[in-house]
Amino acid sequence: MVVFVIGGAGFIGRRVVRTVAGYGHRVISLDIVVAPLFEDLGAQVSSVRLDLSNFEEVVAAMATYKPDVVINLSYMRENLPRLAMKVNVLGMDNCFEAARLCDVGRVVYSSSIAIHSRQQTYGIRKIVEADQPTPAKQYAVHKVFNEWQAKEYREKHGMCITGVRAAHVAGIDKIIGTVDHVQCIVNPALGKASRLDYRDRMRCVIHTDDMAEVFVQLAIAKKPEHDIYNSGGESLSLGQIAEMVKKFIPEADISFENETGGAALSGGYLYDNDRLVQEFGISYLPYEQRVAQMIEQVQRGGAS
């Protein structure tokens, strides 16, 4: 099987590339920046420069390499609104349309729990895939549009396009997006202080290796049963993550500006991922174990 990974040099993408390769498939990693990340994998992985906002480039790449499945992980946050629109909206549509024209069997793309602006909108219960989105930022609106556009391509062209609403992904090299749950771990591991806003701010956290496995399982499946899946994860406050860190670094300097008030401000953090569990047998390591792994990686100078 030939698998395209768009955004393959990114935070999640580089793990997806290696996970796909681990299953024995040929991988084409596409990104705006080509970096020597996969040289140890030899000819099994090719790195190709791709501007996702350029439709002709996307079609040419798919026509050249003829992928069986495309995984699109490319995105931009809203700090550069026009560029974000070009990558997140136009780029995603370029991916869908090029896949249609090139008869690609399956597309898997990254959506986000950002589409649910506040947990309190849904009550203190698990959010399911059928719950209506309530986007509050440009990035979230883009993800809602991606899901709508995927639905249009499925209904009008009979394509197999599957989305994953990724939770708050954690890894020691995460530097953009929601990063407070990462800084709470990485800074103490580096001997630095962590200053965070609310002790009770909630996050639905998932380690990047687990997130990569979810994308790959959906990509190599013949036909997923559903069009959209919640990744789920472990629901924890920043205070709870801090206590996990202190089990391994008792002297960790982690402080909060406020003890309470963050829970009410938190985005969605309770998620039902029964679809993934029942269909693919997905399970995640306890987050405390992941915290220990991340601390060890930082302290030995690792990046993944």
Q: Where are the beta strands (DSSP E) in the chain?
A: 2-6, 26-31, 45-49, 69-72, 106-112, 160-166, 168-170, 194-198, 202-207, 228-230, 234-237, 254-258
Query: How many structural domains is the chain composed of?
Result: 1
Which residues lie closer than 8 Å to 92 by C-beta, 6 or more apart?
Answer: 72, 109, 142, 146, 149
How far from the centroid of its chain's Cα atoms is residue 25's Cα? 21
CATH number of the domain enclosing 58? 3.40.50.720
Does residue 186 belong to any structural domain of this protein? no
Instruction: Average pLDDT across each block of 10 residues of the chain; the chain has 304 residues. List them in order.
Output: 96 96 97 91 96 97 97 87 94 98 97 96 97 95 98 97 98 91 97 97 98 97 95 98 98 97 96 97 97 96 64
Tens digits of per-residue pLDDT, 246-285?
Answer: 999 999 999 999 999 999 999 999 999 999 999 999 999 9
Would you say residue 191 lies in a domain?
no
Per-residue confidence (pLDDT) for residue 35, from 0 to 100: 83
Q: Which residue has the tokens 């965070």?
A: 196
Strand bridging mode 160-166 / 228-230: parallel
**pLDDT value, residue 76:** 86
Task: Say if 82 falls within a structural domain.
Answer: yes
What pLDDT is stored for residue 302 in this prediction? Answer: 65
What is each CA distance from 248 to 262, 270, 281, in whole angstroms? 25, 26, 30
Q: Is residue 106 part of a domain?
A: yes
Which residues are within 8 A (CB) of 139 and not within 5 positions of it... i.e. 6 or more apart?
75, 77, 78, 84, 88, 112, 114
**Which residue type sits at 278?**
Q
pLDDT for res 186 = 97
DSSP strand E in 50-95: where? 69-72
| Chain segment 103-126, per-residue pLDDT in tens | 998 999 999 999 999 999 999 999
Asked if residue 254 belongs to a domain, the reply is: no
Residues 6+ apart with CB under 8 A from 192: 253
For the chain, what is the radius of gyration of the CA atoms? 19
Query: What is the Cα–Cα distance from 86 to 102, expressed in whole angstroms?
Result: 22
Residue 303 is predicted with a pLDDT of 53
What's the predicted TM-score (pTM) here? 0.95
Domain range for 137: 2-170+206-232+270-284
State the virtual CA torsion across 262, 134, 89, 147 in degrees, nearest 10.
Answer: 120
CA distance 248 to 78: 35
Name residues whose C-beta falls within 8 Å of residue 75's C-beta, 6 or more positions apart in sequence.
7, 84, 87, 88, 110, 139, 142
3-class DSSP assignment, residue 158: coil
Query: How large a percentage of the chain has pLDDT more than 70?
Result: 99
Q: In what order do the strands lie in the sheet with 202-207?
A: 168-170, 202-207, 234-237
Report yes or no on 21 lying in a domain. yes
Specify the residue for token string 């955004």. Answer: 7
Q: Are 287 and 207 in contact (CB under 8 A)?
A: yes
Is residue 88 in some structural domain? yes
